[in-house]
Amino acid sequence: MESDRIIKDSILKDFRDLKIMAIELTLSIIKPDAVSKGHMGEILARFEKNGLRIVAAKVSLLSRWQVEQIYGIHKGRPFYQDLLQFMTSGPVMLAVLEGEDAVAKNREIMGNTDPHLALPGTIRADFGTAANRNAVHGSDGPDRARYEIACLFEVGEIYSQIWLPERERHHQSAGS
Ligand code: ATP
Ligand code: MG
């Protein structure tokens, strides 16, 4: 209807500066190879230089159970036992990254699973040495990111600029 079109145009005019943005959170793990070689700081800087905010971070020695929660989807594959052994072999850096399209952006700056195939300038090309020693892990989708973050962080450890957990909202409104 003509009246509908007029209303729609006027509304759109009011919203002409609005951008559709998808701010996401994702999980990064700086793996034992990169941590033991002292590349943790350089890798964290890559995230920040690429517009990803570090909203939670901690050094941790993962248990076998924790690694199984993250990589259990690969159970039965030839590299699985080595992966479990490697990921529990020394401390890792766990980080929650936040930003526009954070999941895809993190995967992009990580590079290919095999550092030899990763584009120059990516984290894996610069700090990884083989497919099974590839410096970093990144969640491969928003749902996986939520699951992986929930496995490894408490709500209170995450200082997101966009996400206020529901229980915090209740807490705040109860206090106000
Ligand atoms: P990640 O999940 O660690 O971010 P990815 O998503 O690029 O890596 P996946 O297919 O999920 O790759 O594999 C998980 C991990 O298993 C890899 O990071 C690597 O450590 C190991 N892996 C995968 N494929 C191989 C392989 N062909 N040979 C040895 N290790 C492998
Ligand atoms: Mg993966």
Residue 79 domain boundaries: 22-175
Residue 5 is assigned to a structural domain of this protein = no
- Cβ of 140 less than 6 Å from ligand 1: yes
**Considering only CA atoms, which residue is closest to atom 26 of ligand 1?**
131
Determine the distance separating the centroid of ligand 2 and the alpha carbon of 162, expressed in angstroms: 25
Residue to substitute in 82, 108, 113, 144 for testing ligand 1 pocket (most ligand atoms within 8 angstroms of CB): 113
Looking at residue 22, its pLDDT comes to: 85
Looking at residue 11, its pLDDT comes to: 77
Residue 4 is assigned to a structural domain of this protein = no
Local structure of 137: helix, strand or coil: strand
Residues of the chain with pLDDT under 50: none
Residue 167 is assigned to a structural domain of this protein = yes
Looking at residue 21, its pLDDT comes to: 61
Q: Rounded to two decimals, what is the model's pTM?
A: 0.88
Residue 47 is assigned to a structural domain of this protein = yes
Looking at residue 47, its pLDDT comes to: 98
Residue 11 is assigned to a structural domain of this protein = no
Residue 56 is assigned to a structural domain of this protein = yes
Each residue's pLDDT tens digit, 50-80 = 999 999 999 999 999 999 999 999 999 999 9
Can you give the CATH number for the domain in which 42 is found?
Answer: 3.30.70.141
Residue 65 is assigned to a structural domain of this protein = yes
Total number of domains in the chain = 1
Determine the distance separating the centroid of ligand 2 and the alpha carbon of 172, expressed in angstroms: 37
Looking at residue 17, its pLDDT comes to: 75
Looking at residue 15, its pLDDT comes to: 74
**Distance of alpha carbon 60 from alpha carbon 38, whole angstroms:** 15
Sign of CA dihedral 110, 127, 60, 82: positive
The residue annotated as part of the active site, out of 39, 116, 137, 171, is: 137
